[in-house]
Amino acid sequence: MPYDNKADLTKVREYYASDPRQKRFSALVTGETGSGKTYLYRTCRKPVFIDSFDPGGSKCLKKEIESGDIIVDTRWENEDPYNPSVYEAWINETDHRFRVGFYNQFGTYGLDSMSSFADAVMNFQLKGAGRVGESPKFTKDYTPQKTNMINKVKRFMTLPCDFIVTGHLRMIEEVVGTTKDGQDIKRIKYRFLTTGQAVVTIPMQFDELYVMIGTDTSKGVDRKLLIDAQGQYVARSRLKANGRLEKEEEADIKKLLKKIGLNWEDKPKV
């Protein structure tokens, strides 16, 4: 049979049109401690389900938890580094959830935060190596940890709901020159707090990389999302085409989804 290029192109177009990953929203939201990263889940498509690895991090969501709009699994917040069990238990639980279609009922799945999650992964890695409570060894421990983290992120990219992960920032101080009197000229920048090259490879998995900025004002905390920034902070968006998003936006995920043209409506409460 002669080659039918139109049939092949039709298959590609049909696959794209039916691919749920082209229609769902994924974001890594970084920020300094207290900037409001966890608070942002209030603005996501509901109901929201969060696996919380930050001890006490979900207290700011108490009202939404009591109303049933947000459900938080806090079992992962408390880890004994000398008898680690959190990551292995989380793996078993998520395997079960994927098998039964647990995540289908939610508008948003959140992992809060990637920085604390990385600690749980490392504790699991050290336990497997028979070195619980010890300092990690660079080549032996960090590479498997990074691989574990990336593989889990990729798995959650297949979810039928939005996927939003928070992460802390670390401050980096660089000497960029000297003054005439010999004083160092320093530049401060902030980067995603994680292991080694995962600072690059994990953000690459997400459509959106935002930075949460919280500023105290006379009317309370003014929270903004940096959508497109280089320099002191790094942020970028794959969905801001055609001027749909500004470089700085209100910290409201559903409003962003509406501007982008993605599904912004809640699902029924569970």
Question: The domain that contains 137 carries what CATH number?
Answer: 3.40.50
Using pLDDT thresholds of 50, 70 and 90, give the confidence band for residue 52.
Answer: very high
User: Cα separation of 175 and 144, whole Å?
Assistant: 32
- pLDDT of 4 strictly over 80: no
User: Is 242 contained in some domain?
Assistant: yes
User: Is 241 contained in some domain?
Assistant: yes
203 CB-near residues (< 8 Å, 6+ apart): 28, 192, 209, 234
pTM to 2 decimal places = 0.85
Which tens digit of pLDDT belongs to each residue from 225-239? 999 877 788 899 988
Q: Where are the alpha helices (DSSP H) in 111-213?
A: 114-128, 143-156, 198-201
- pLDDT of 21 strictly over 70: no
Which tens digit of pLDDT belongs to each residue from 73-92? 999 998 888 999 999 999 99
User: Cα separation of 51 and 152, whole Å?
Assistant: 13
Of residues 23 and 32, more confidence is placed in 32
User: Is 8 contained in some domain?
Assistant: no
User: Is 254 contained in some domain?
Assistant: yes
- Which pLDDT score is estimated for 62? 92
- Which pLDDT score is estimated for 20? 56
- Which pLDDT score is estimated for 225? 93
User: Is 265 contained in some domain?
Assistant: no
Structure tokens at 208: 């959106």
User: Is 21 contained in some domain?
Assistant: no
What residue numbers bound the domain in which 49 lies? 26-260
Which tens digit of pLDDT belongs to each residue from 198-209? 777 888 899 999
Of residues 261 and 51, more confidence is placed in 51
**Which residues, listed in sequence order, are joined to residue 166 by a DSSP beta bridge?**
29
* Alpha-carbon torsion angle 36, 39, 44, 47, nearest 10: 160
User: Is 63 contained in some domain?
Assistant: yes
- Which pLDDT score is estimated for 12? 62
User: Is 1 contained in some domain?
Assistant: no
Count structural domains, the chain.
1
pLDDT average, residue stretch 84-113: 95
Using pLDDT thresholds of 50, 70 and 90, give the confidence band for residue 22.
Answer: low
The percentage of residues in the chain with a pLDDT greater than 70, rounded to a whole number, is 90
